[in-house]
Amino acid sequence: MSSPAPLVDQFQRRITYLRLSVTDRCDLRCAYCMPERMTFLPRKDVLTLDEMHDLALGFMARGITRIRLTGGEPLVRRDMIELVQALGRRIGADDGRGHLEELTLTTNGTRLAEFAEPLRAAGVRRINVSLDTLDRESFARLTRRDSLPQVLEGLAAAKAAGLRVKLNTVALKGVNEHEIADLVAWAHGQSFEATLIEVMPLGDVEEDRIDHYLPLVAVQEDLARRWTLTPSGHRTGGPARYWDVAETGGRLGLITPLTNNFCDGCNRIRVTATGQLYACLGGNEQVDLRAALRSADPRGALDEALDVAMKIKPARHNFAIDARGAVPALARHMSMTGG
């Protein structure tokens, strides 16, 4: 019996990276991400962990070798570590049923103190932690929760557990632009990588995003006046472009969905906690994998759905933040799609 074909879209991009959201729920309420009174999905609509595992196995059989677990905040889902452990057993597997080269996680860090060691034991070696400020008052104002001490405790636990950490920081005009350099320097001093991200126009929030949109070209110019930035040959297969910082000895990534589109080399797809596959973060093209999983022929239906996904994946997204009062590019929030 021949193996299923690898995932290749209509633009001949090989898809090897899955971002799998395990929940849309989060214990923070970052102002640029969601409103304070966020309406979350009914639990009955969310895939079970067994279904997520079956889904991941189906993707691996089609050539997915890297999986990142996301949310919302993935660590708020009860028993989520069991899914990590099950997927971790596929790292380096050589039984002809697909394997993983890497299993990673994106988290806000509030629960890392509890989960850093179990994540490491399950096979996770690298995590991304979202952190936009080191100032406690600014953190509480931005996230609407006074949780910075827990995040810093979690980062220390991750470091002690031997996890490689990359800090993801959304650059926000008038909010954290004055401390970006200090945050990067702090990260490098902790032996963490740092990546800066432009704010994305996803979902309605209570503020106008144009007020806080900070093009990273301006941030890069500011940092270049302070430090020596040299283009890095480092690549992860993701959207970041990297720079080596001579003075800190660390690496800086820039993710620019608005000012410098990075879609030509896209190798990823996203699946929500309800099993909806979005072929592009910035598009509405989707395929219902939950229906496939719950059909009479789950494996066959899943393969058919993935073939459809490869045909509808667009060439690029079309994000823009250029007018006050403009509706977001997409109605759904990042927490629903998977960060």
Which amino acid appears at position 225 of this protein? R
Predicted pLDDT of residue 110: 98
- 21 neighbors 272 (Cβ within 8 angstroms): yes
Structural domain range at position 252: 17-337
Instruction: Report the residue count for the chain.
Output: 339
pTM: 0.88
* 336 annotated as ligand-binding: no
Whether residue 268 is annotated as binding a ligand: the answer is yes
| Residue 259, token pair as written in the block | 């000012």
Report the CATH number that the domain containing residue 215 is assigned in CATH: 3.20.20.70
- Asked if residue 332 is part of any domain, the answer here is yes
110 is known to lie in a ligand binding site: no
What are φ and ψ of residue 42, in 5° steps? -60, 140
Q: Is 209 annotated as a binding residue?
A: no
Listing from the earlier edge strand, what are the strands of the sheet with 102-107? 229-231, 241-245, 250-255, 193-198, 164-171, 126-130, 102-107, 66-70, 17-21, 268-271, 276-278, 286-288
Flag whether 270 is marked binding. yes
Whether residue 200 is annotated as binding a ligand: the answer is: yes
- Low-confidence stretches of the chain (pLDDT < 50) are 1, 203-205, 320, 323-324, 327-333
263 is in an annotated binding site: yes
In a domain, 161, yes or no: yes
Residue type, 31: A
Which pLDDT value is given to residue 210? Answer: 62
Domain count, the chain: 1
Residue 153: Cβ-neighbour burial (10 angstroms; 0-12, 13-18, 19+)? middle
- Residue 80 is assigned to a ligand binding site: no
Question: Is 269 annotated among the ligand-binding residues?
Answer: yes
The crossing angle, in degrees rounded to 10, of helices 112-122 and 80-88 is 20
Ligand-binding annotation for 253, yes or no, is: no
pLDDT tens digit sequence for 37-47: 888 888 889 99
Q: Is residue 177 part of a domain?
A: yes
**From residue 312, how far is each of 10, 66, 291, 306, 309 by CA, in Å?**
8, 22, 18, 10, 5
Q: Is 3 a member of any domain?
A: no
Domain membership of residue 8 (yes or no) is: no
Q: How far apart are CA 333 and CA 331, in angstroms?
A: 7
> In this structure, is residue 203 part of a structural domain?
yes
Q: Taken in order 329, 333, 334, 337, is the CA torsion positive or negative?
A: negative
**52 is an annotated ligand-binding site residue:** no
130 is in an annotated binding site: yes
pLDDT confidence of residue 279:
85
* pLDDT for position 280: 81
Q: Give the whole-angstrom CA distance, residue 103 versus residue 124.
A: 6
Domain for residue 2, yes or no? no
Contact 339, 34 (CB under 8 A): no
Q: Three-state DSSP class for 82?
A: helix
226 is in an annotated binding site: no
Instruction: Identify the bridge partners of residue 128 per DSSP, sorted by sequence position.
Output: 106, 166
Q: How far apart are CA 333 and CA 202, in angstroms?
A: 5
In a domain, 10, yes or no: no
Q: Look at residue 205 in the predicted model and tell me its pLDDT.
A: 47
